Amino acid sequence: MTARSSAGAKELLRELGATLRLSESEAAELVSEGPSEDQTMIINMGPQHPSTHGVLRLMLELEGETVLRTKPIVGYLHTGMEKTGEDLTYLQGATNVTRMDYAAPLFSELAFALTTEKLLGIAEDIPPRAQWIRMLLTELNRMTSHLLFLATNGMDMGAVSMMLYGWRDREEGLRTLEMITGLRMNHNYIRPGGVAADLPDGWRDQVLKFLDGVAPSLAEYDVLLTGQPIYRERLQGVGIITAEEAIALGATGPILRSTGVPWDLRRDLPYLHYDEVDFDVVVGSYGDCFDRYAIRINEVRESIKIIRQILDQLPRGDYRIQDKKVTPPPRARIDESMEALIHHFKIFTEGFKVPAGEAYAAVESPRGELGCYIVSDGTSKPYRMHIRGPSFVNLQTLPHMMRGGLIADAVAVISSVDPIMGEVDR
Amino acid sequence: MLHASRADLAAVVRLLRDEDGFNMCLDVTAVDYLTYEPDRALPPGVTPERFEVVVTLMSHSERGRLRLRVQVPGDDPTCPSLFDVHPGSEASEREVFDLFGVIFEGHPDLTRILMPEDWDGHPLRKDHAMGRIPVQFKGADRQDAR
């Protein structure tokens, strides 16, 4: 492998670091002065640049075409999810967090539900069927999220046909999710206590149809991209990050695994029933953009493997906990029992009370460790709800990956980090 | 879960990294306990203060997480930065500074990250009410509502 971009990078401005420490107003003054002969140039990339995956703005310090230092600037999409979370009940909370990571909404719901269940002390009592349904849904969601990455990564590299194919396959995945949850995104399907509804009739055929469709597509992608010289040339040796850097910067998910650290929460700190299914953790070795691409395309294959095992092992039983405190009474009971009606009304207006305390739970989202930290004061609303967004932390690795690379490679690097701005700007 | 004093925080985190294998800083966040009513479960010797900075550490070798809680008084909201130990805490500390106003001493670039640079106040503080702040736009003329 020719480490094209890292060739001169090692010695380049090492003492100053990779991150540009310059406020926006200072940069504006510099720009108005204009660059002189001996100065480096600071340019802005984004927030409207088509390849910055939403509203990410990068302040780049350039010398010619070489990127010296970078500063990611976020905050253009500030939606105030954490503040809003303090004003919604635990039952409504899932509708809030599902809007954060709009490419993988079910993972946010899952992290929120697991944390709430920890606080309620019912984490052990969730029926197995609910847990397996959660696994099924999140793995389907991981596939659609990675297919979206493959599509946009291809688009950023100029492989427009890949964009169309990736979108086509993701569409079938979203159709499957829609069939099960009722919505293509913002599902609000995984809730504290279980899931919103049992799997509908015909779900197995739809899931199998999706899996059978994706498997040959992945072989197509291999022909189209993996072995394709131009594509490899654009990704290999670009945006290199070492394992030490990735750990120091708190990077998780495919970015950490691309450096050779075999860390996957599903295997190493299992939640739900991941310790009962068999799958491989995909690890890279160079820590470059190509490794991150390869990890994601192979994780789609692993997800297919997991889902096939889930289809075989899915147990029968309740899809939500039969705890009167958390679960609303069945619809039929409301017609015949005043008690049930009152109970139903109270759960949906006031919500349920959660004992005071604090809890943290994390899941392996397509982008890394997605954690949820809740402090409860004993009322039906969280006192403080915090989400540890993997994209937010992973963005810090951008300056280190870009240092010494060309501006044309910046697009490849941003794409390989796969940031979802809804989660960054919460 | 562990409690640390402000003065010890950086040293404790460094020790945990070097001796106990807590090699990754997952998250730095904070809680504003201004209006918190129930008893706060704190060990003896720890005085409750208005803010609490919560640091989550991860150990890959031990396969576990550790939560460090640090009390930060409301009249002196400062806390040592973990940047020298874990550079990855940078963005999270900026976020806490932005939304809570806790100042991290030793942070290389403590500026607002989510809110605009010229924003007043810290939105996640409990005395910063929801929906009562007029939306601030740069350079827009104020027009009287008709």
Contacts of B13 in chain A (CB under 8 A): none
User: Which of the two residues, A230 and A16, has the higher pLDDT score?
Assistant: A230
Check CB contact under 8 Å for B88 and A393. yes
Check CB contact under 8 Å for B115 and A268. no
Average pLDDT of chain A to the nearest whole number: 86
> Which member of A369, A373, A396 has the closest CB to residue B91?
A396
Q: Which of A373, A376, A394, A398 to mutate to test the interface with B (most CBs of B within 10 A)?
A: A373
Cα–Cα distance between B86 and B82 in angstroms, integer?
A: 6
Alpha helix (H) ranges present in A72-104?
81-85, 90-97
Contacts of B123 in chain A (CB under 8 A): 80, 83
Cβ count near B144 (within 10 Å) = 4
Residue B133 has pLDDT above 80, yes or no: no
Would you give the DSSP letter of residue A397?
A: G
Average pLDDT over residues B92-110: 88
Neighbouring C-alpha atoms within 13 Å toward the C-beta of A128: 9
Cα–Cα distance between A2 and A408 in angstroms, integer?
A: 17
Express each pLDDT in A221-237 by its tens digit: 988 888 889 889 888 88
- Please give the structure tokens belonging to residue A330: 């069945």
Express each pLDDT in A72-118 by its tens digit: 888 888 788 888 888 889 888 889 899 888 889 999 999 999 999 99
Average pLDDT over residues A383-410: 89
Would you give the DSSP letter of residue B70?
A: E
Check CB contact under 8 Å for A75 and B115. yes
Q: How confident is the model at residue A15 (pLDDT cuts 50, 70, 90)?
A: very low
- Please give the structure tokens belonging to residue B133: 């702040």
* Per-residue confidence (pLDDT) for residue A12, from 0 to 100: 36
Minimum CA–CA partner of B86 in chain A: A248
Q: Which of B14, B37, B113, B119 to mutate to test the interface with A (most CBs of A within 10 A)?
A: B113
Distances A287 to A209, A300, A307, A399, B123 between C-alpha atoms, Å: 34, 19, 28, 14, 38
Q: Report the gap between the CA of A250 and the closest CA in chain B (Å).
A: 5
* Per-residue confidence (pLDDT) for residue B7, from 0 to 100: 81
Express each pLDDT in B73-87 by its tens digit: 888 888 898 888 888
Residue A41 has pLDDT above 90, yes or no: no
* Per-residue confidence (pLDDT) for residue A203, from 0 to 100: 92
* Per-residue confidence (pLDDT) for residue B119, from 0 to 100: 79
- Please give the structure tokens belonging to residue A209: 């149809």
Residue A339 has pLDDT above 90, yes or no: no
User: Which of the two residues, B3 and A215, has the higher pLDDT score?
Assistant: A215
* Per-residue confidence (pLDDT) for residue A10, from 0 to 100: 34
Burial classification of residue B37, based on how many CB atoms lie within 10 Å of its CB (0-12 exposed, 13-18 middle, 19 or more buried) = exposed
Q: How confident is the model at residue A332 (pLDDT cuts 50, 70, 90)?
A: confident
Cα–Cα distance between A332 and B112 in angstroms, integer?
A: 52
* Per-residue confidence (pLDDT) for residue A361, from 0 to 100: 92
> Which member of A83, A388, A392 has the closest CB to residue B123?
A83
User: Which of the two residues, B135 and A405, has the higher pLDDT score?
Assistant: A405
Enumerate residues 6+ apart whose C-beta is below 8 A from A269: A362, B63, B64, B65
Q: How confident is the model at residue B128 (pLDDT cuts 50, 70, 90)?
A: confident
